[in-house]
Structure 1
Amino acid sequence: MMTKEEIYTELKNVLVQSFMIDADDISPEADLYADLDFDSIDAIDLAAKIHNVTGQQMKPEQFKGVRTIGDAVNVIDELLRAK
């Protein structure tokens, strides 16, 4: 089982490598849309990457509440605990 810190580190790596986001711009409080310039396509891509990490499919309603990096970490943590 991954800790929230490990989830955050993994998510940060995905954002840097797959979305070309500067690591310095990533924090738990960073808003995916306002601060990191995500759009709906990026959100779908991120959900797919989360699926690759967790092996769990995110439900659309789970991702609707995700606005910040911290929100994403919490959703991933819930998915991993549901295994």
Structure 2
Amino acid sequence: MMNKNEIYQEVASLLTSLFEDLELDSIDAVDMVVHLQKRTGRKIKPETFRAVRTVQDVVDAVDQLMRDEA
């Protein structure tokens, strides 16, 4: 199971690439969710990420998901 710091590093890395390469949009956000699902082995509902605005928001959402389904 990934700890909160590992989640942060993974998300920060993804967002950095998305912002630099693609100017993050909704399709990129979907790609991020798919990547996180593969990485965590958890099903992530799209509504979980609707209110996400910062890297910390993503980390908190994934961390909570990991705790809820553990």
TM-score bracket for the superposition, by shorter chain length: 0.7 to 0.9
Higher RCO by CA contacts (8 Å cutoff, separation 6 or greater): 2
RMSD: 2.3
TM-score by length of 1: 0.67
Which aligned runs of 4 or more in structure 1 are off by greater than 6 angstroms? none
Gaps of 5+ in 1: 23-35
Q: Identity across aligned pairs (percent)?
A: 43
Find 2:54's aligned residue among 68, 73, 77.
68
Give deviations 1:11-55, integer Å, cap 9, x for gaps.
Answer: 2233456x3749xxxxxxxxxxxxx83111011101101101111
Quick check: which one's helix share is greater?
2
Partner of 1:2: 2
Give deviations 1:46-74, integer Å, cap 9, x for gaps.
Answer: 11011011111211211101111110001
Aligned residues: 69
Partners of 1:44 and 1:13 in 2: how far apart? 16
TM-score by length of 2: 0.77
